[in-house]
Structure 1
Amino acid sequence: MPRWPTPRVFVVSEVERGRRALERIAARAPAVLGVILDLRDARGSRLRSGADARGACVEAVAVAVPAAASADPGPEGAAEAEAEESPARPDVLVLDAATLRALGGVAALRPLFEAREPDARPPYVVFDDAQRALTILAEHLPEAAWPRRRGCIKTAETLLAAGADRHRDHRPLERSVREFLGHELPDQALTGLLGRAGAKTLHERLAAEAETILALMRRFTPQLRERRLAGVYQFECDLLTPVVAMERAGIGLDAPGFERVAGGWVRERRSLDTASAEPGESEEDFEARVAARAARLDKLVSTYRWWARDFVDADRRIRCRLHPLAADSGRFSCTEPNLQQVPSEYTAPGLRACFVPAPGHRLIVADYAQIELRVAAHLAPCDALGAVFRAGRDPHRATAATLTGKPEPEVESHERKLAKAVNFGFLFGMGARRFRSYAASGYGLDLDERQAAEAREAFFRTFPGIAAWHRRVGALSRRGDHEAITVTTAMGRRKTFPAGRFSFNAALNIPVQGTAAEGFKAAMIRLHRELPSIGGRGVLVVHDEYLAEVPEARAEEGKAMVEAHMIAAMGELVHTVPIVVEAEIAAHWS
């Protein structure tokens, strides 16, 4: 495979020349720029794709500047970019580490991100990984100075892959260049070496990377348009502003309290070694109880024991990494640490109470009520389920009424509990056999095969629109044996199942969970814009739950703001049923 041709690279290692070069680029008012940040870890090694960029050092910067006539490859300029068959090769400016430091670090790039005239559009700034780039820029520039119009190769490639690529957070640029452009990037072998040879190789590599991300963006833009993904692509790029801001904000942690809870698990685990059976308890039951509790404690200790030591910063806040495109549906995942998996009060009493707001503030903890059922009622569509929500009734009581033959007001709590398991279990295509284990593990319900089958029948009898939706997706399953099948969310996000690999459950799940995720993300964007007006900010997302931190004096105002924007954002996508948000003002996470 041919190596990428050596770019028209200009390496600047003098401060004044670097300043003049940046001024000249800004004066040209380019429609688009390609920017590569050479990031290094504490050992000086180049950061690999997907690695945590927090605290990384910027070793050098490469800025690719296309010819003046080059089209804007952003969504607004997609038609022009599509027509441009052989654009002139860009010039690439490389600022080495010493020059970059003398210019004030990456803050020196700020003029490149701004429009030259009041009514002009700023450049469309393309990054290989925009979330990582913004993480670095945020350490040096206020949010208002971040590139307002930005593109992201990783985001475009993830959306175009439509679920085919399982390594979203590990997309080496060289792989993309090889796969989509048919070239190899310059070898990195010498880039860690000292001396001229290593520096020259590094500069050529950075220049090639900056040039290739513009070429990739030109390649991806018409594909995004053809597959009607340009809107969701721009949406995901815009979302990175609140995501990076939330990662930087973190959430307060009562570290001593966390240590007390975790220490209690350790002591209890030791005590199990000398525990004895309770009066009347058989030896078999005792051993099973102790083994189950020991397994739970071992999991808690191994996962959370040292969080307060390892992840809490000097300002007593804990900060995670958020991954907005980690799932085919577009739902978030979370790592380092995974705050989305902090166990509930039932599983780990007192643990969530250790997550607290800053002094003088309160948390607003808001969650969408029964959002997957509401989205399914809209997408299926299901008139019966929609009618339940429009009337303000409880869908679990509606199913329980069918199961028991009782009027809804007479349904008892244990009957509603079964119906809740039924609704959430069968919504996404679970069979009766699997439902038995789901009901037992999730709801403590012991059902035989006949009861499980009757529960499934009652669910579809209660909500015939859901049954019809399942039949339609089942028909896709038969086609999926010999052709690729694509399902979409409300915004147009795609999941493609290759021929012979269709999943009935995923084809039901992804449009519903994906639409819910899109409504939630839209609310994040709105709230990031509005909460600062009352001194608030978003601090954490956990699936369908949003946590904001607001001044105590404005807590009621903050609660109303969070509720209103979460409802409005989701309502733009799911408009045939009412959206309900349950929010509370809290002194800690619960």
Structure 2
Amino acid sequence: MKRHRDDNGLPVSFLVASSADDLAEAVRELRLDESPFLGIDTETTGLDPIRCRVRLVQIAAPERSVLLADLFRIRTAEAREPLRRLLTGKAVKIFQNAAFDLAFLAGEELPVAPPLFDTMLAAQLAACGEDDGSHGLGALAARHLGVDLPKELGRSDWRTASLSSEQLCYAARDAAILLPLREALVALLRSKGLVGTAKLEFDCVFAIAEMHATGMPLSRERFDALRTTLEEEKAAALKVLRAALGALPRQGQLSLFDDGALVNPDSTKQLLEALRLRGGLPLTGTSRSDLEPFADHPAVKALLEYRKIAKAASAFGDAIAAHIHPVTGRLHSHYAQVRTPTGRLACAAPNIQQIPREARFRRCFAAPPGKRLVLADYSQIELRVAAEISGDTRMREAYRSGEDLHRVTASLVTGKAPEDVTKGERQLAKAINFGLIYAMGARGLQRYAQSTFGAAMTGGEAEHFRSRFFDAYSGIAAWHRKEAENPSAEVRTLSGRLRRIPPGEGLPGRLNTPVQGTAADILKEALGRLPAALSGTEARIVASVHDEILLEVPEEHATAAAEILSRTMEDAGARFLASVPVVAEAVVAESWAEK
């Protein structure tokens, strides 16, 4: 066991444990198991927890030297037992970007148990939706502690047989800085009333790490077949589009037999020229909002269809293929907890949340042999949250009595009895409900209904439906008026999550944040509870998509896991919604398409 001290920059002393005896002796000498707080960091050989390894685990406790455990030399489970005890003990474990470290430590069979504090999440949460700069460890140390913490060595080679003294000092400082950084951030969270929301985020980290490490299962056979089909559909749609647009005259055309140049569908300039020349359309742009008023024109219809298919071919086919893991054959997406202003989970590399709802796409995500997917989503969660926040009597009554709110709204705006509402009118009511709780205007409602739900309405109908909606749901109207008159730029979700609304967002932002943010809080509450609730079922959380959670479970435990998932999600909702019931419907399925 080697002792070191570095007084450059942030003064730090540390012990390097390179054997089982070193590790056991260091834990005893530093009395790490007696500390209520432990700053924990890892140095890894790369960013992929499946193909890369943990080189060092650094553990810091107040007023003690930092322990650096070299896992390249401490290899067996028995030798690592002192680390395991610390990571699963009662101390608050302080991490920076805990989901990253948890995924790597799980790969080393070193699980981490609550309680946990994540300095990155705490800082992001305390920013209240505003851009206050980077939330990397170096930036946080400078901003909250006035400490210069160089990060260049983080990209050095951690696979080398002998680590340099500079690397060891760097590793020790990263763990030691977490202790005072937590104190600064706790004070900030308390001053903004965000302690409860921070705990919600910290509890959720374990599920986030599990989703990334486990990955979403993918049937390569189904995916490859669909990708081929999409490319064929894209080529066919392009042929139809070019036929509808015709050809553009070539500059300096010399031959009477030259048919002109084919239109490039990705060129705004060429599209505008063709649509004006061949279609006689008075367009100034080719965005969806520009084109929608002319959606019945053959050329515009062909263009919109081509774009839809081309987007699917690219966003689904190419994006998914680029992220299929070479070892697992799965999609190990990265989830960001507090990157969006409302607290809704963000997803990337690839973005599972953007997979189209069509069955042909979702059936590509299938359980492997011997397993099943368990799928559950919240029923109309944002509308239920709006009913809770606004106190609207009619909306609350509908949910308490188990009525279909979309049918109720269709009945109220059309004047029909609920049993006489048609399928098309119910679809129209979906757009009305989801659009108008956020104060959408008549014109916006008209566009939203068509683009999102395929439901057409005239401008006059949109005005009429809007008026009837707010007459029927007077509590929603009163909530809108109250928020419109509220001079404060600060809004909170029902968990207490705070956001400062930028001036340009106006009323829709003031309404969307507490509703969508509370729905996000409810989902995160469920994710935070699930790892413990699912203990014994061998279930793994593989994905979360807005209001939906997906598990992969051995067949023999699937029914039990479905009951646990549904109950846990509903209990999480009941924590925040006191007057409106929360419903989460779970199914056992072979593929994602069955929900």
Q: 1:208 aligns with which of 173, 176, 179?
A: 173
What amino acid is the match of 2:372? R
Correspondence 1:153 to 2:119: yes
Does the C-alpha gap of structure 1 residues 409 and 588 become closer, same or farther in structure 2, counting only changes over 3 Å? same
- Equivalence map 1:526-545=2 (5 Å): 526-545=529-548
Partner residue, 2:35: 30
Q: What is the alpha-carbon distance in structure 2 between the residues aligned to residue 188 and residue 278 of structure 1?
A: 56
Mapping of residues 430-441 of structure 1, within 5 Å: 430-441=440-451
Alpha carbons 2:23, 2:82 under 8 Å: kept: no
Map 1:135-534 → 2, pairs under 5 A: 135-143=103-111, 146-165=112-131, 171-186=135-150, 188=152, 192=156, 199-275=164-240, 285-306=297-318, 307-308=320-321, 310-345=323-358, 350-476=360-486, 479-480=487-488, 485-497=489-501, 500=503, 503-534=506-537
Quick check: 1:368–1:582 contact (8 Å CA) kept in 2? yes
1:104 pairs with one of 75, 79, 86:
75
**Counterpart in 2 of 1:7?**
11
How many angstroms apart in 2 are the aligned matches of 1:26 and 1:105?
A: 22
Q: Which runs of 5+ in 1 are unaligned?
A: 42-46, 68-89
Letter in 2 for 1:171: H
Quote how far apart the aligned CAs of 1:300 are: 1.8
Per-residue CA deviation, residues 337-366 of structure 1 (Å, 9 max, x unaligned), is 111111121xxx512111111212322221
Map of 2:58 onto structure 1: 62
Q: Structure 1 4/467 Cα, relative in aligned 2: closer, same or farther at 3 Å?
A: farther
SS at match of 1:12: strand
Contact 1:320 1:335 in 2 (8 A): yes
SS in structure 2 opposite 1:550?
A: strand
Q: Secondary structure at the match of 1:445?
A: coil
Q: In structure 2, what is the Cα distance between the partners aligned to 1:220 and 1:452?
A: 48
Give the Cα–Cα distance (whole angstroms) in 1 for the partners of residues 243 and 153 of structure 2.
Answer: 66
- Mapped to 1, the partners of 2:151 and 2:97 lie a distance apart of 20
**For the residues of structure 2 that align with 1:106 and 1:509, how far apart are their CA atoms?**
49
Query: Residue 269 of structure 1: SS of its match in structure 2?
Result: helix
CA deviation string 1:271-326 (max 9, x = no partner): 345459999xxx96443343223222221222222434641454443322222223
The worse-fitting range, judged by mean Cα deviation, of 383-392 and 349-358 is 349-358
Separation in 2 of the partners of 1:193 and 1:252? 32
Do the aligned residues in 1 keep the contact of 2:375 with 2:549 (CA within 8 Å)?
yes
Distance 1:219 1:4, change over 3 A: farther
| AA at the equivalent of 1:471 | R
Q: Which residue of 2 aligns with 1:92?
A: 66
Cα distance, 1:537 vs structure 2: 3.0
Task: Please identify runs of 4+ aligned residues in structure 1 that moved more than 6 A.
Answer: 105-109, 276-279
2:501–2:509 Cα contact (<8 Å) kept:
no
Asked whether the equivalents of residues 74 and 80 of structure 2 are also in contact (C-alpha less than 8 Å), the reply is no
Question: Shift in Å at residue 140 of structure 1?
Answer: 0.7
- Offset of residue 259 of structure 1: 0.5
**Deviation string, structure 1 residues 82-104 (Cα, Å, up to 9, x no partner):** xxxxxxxx423345xxx441122
**Does the Cα contact within 8 Å between 1:251 and 1:357 map onto a contact in 2?**
no
Contact 2:24-2:82 within 8 A present in 1 as well: no
Instruction: Specify the code of the residue in structure 1 equivalent to 2:311.
Output: K
Give yes or no for contact 1:113–1:125 (8 Å, CA) kept in 2: no
| Change over 3 Å in CA distance of 1:291–1:497 after alignment to 2 | closer
- Measured against aligned partners, the alpha-carbon deviations of 1:225-256 in whole angstroms (never above 9, x if no partner) come to 33332222122212111221222222321101
For residues 27 and 185 of structure 1, the distance between their equivalents in structure 2, rounded to whole angstroms, comes to 24
TM-score normalised over the length of structure 1: 0.82
Q: Deviations for 1:509-535, whole angstroms, at most 9, x for unmatched residues?
A: 111122222222222233322334334
| Alpha-carbon distance change, 200 to 561 in structure 1, aligned in 2, over 3 angstroms | closer
Aligned to 2:261: none
Secondary structure of residue in 2 paired with 1:253: coil
Q: CA RMSD in A?
A: 3.3
Shift of 1:17: 4.4
Contact persistence 2:18–2:74 (CA under 8 A): no
Moved more, 380-389 or 203-212: 203-212
- What is the SS of the residue equivalent to 1:584? strand
User: 5+ unaligned residues in a row in structure 2: which ranges?
Assistant: 1-6, 245-277, 280-296
Per the alignment, do residues 92 and 526 of structure 1 end up closer, same or farther by CA in structure 2, a change over 3 Å counting?
closer
**Equivalent-residue separation in structure 2 for 1:28 and 1:549 (angstroms):** 35
**CA 1:553/1:134 → structure 2, altered by over 3 Å: closer, same or farther?**
closer
2-structure distance, mates of 1:34, 1:339: 33
Aligned to 1:562: 565
Is contact 1:365-1:583 (8 Å) kept?
A: yes
**Against the structure 1 CA distance between its residues 459 and 137, is the aligned structure 2 distance closer, same or farther, given a 3 Å change threshold?**
same
Confirm or deny: 8 A CA contact 2:41 2:95 kept in the other structure.
Answer: yes
CA distance in 1 between partners of 2:490 and 2:89 (Å):
36
Kindly indicate whether the alpha-carbon contact (under 8 Å) linking 1:6 and 1:204 is maintained by their aligned counterparts in 2. no
For residue 373 of structure 1, report the CA deviation from its aligned partner: 0.8
Distance 2:363 2:157 in 1: 50
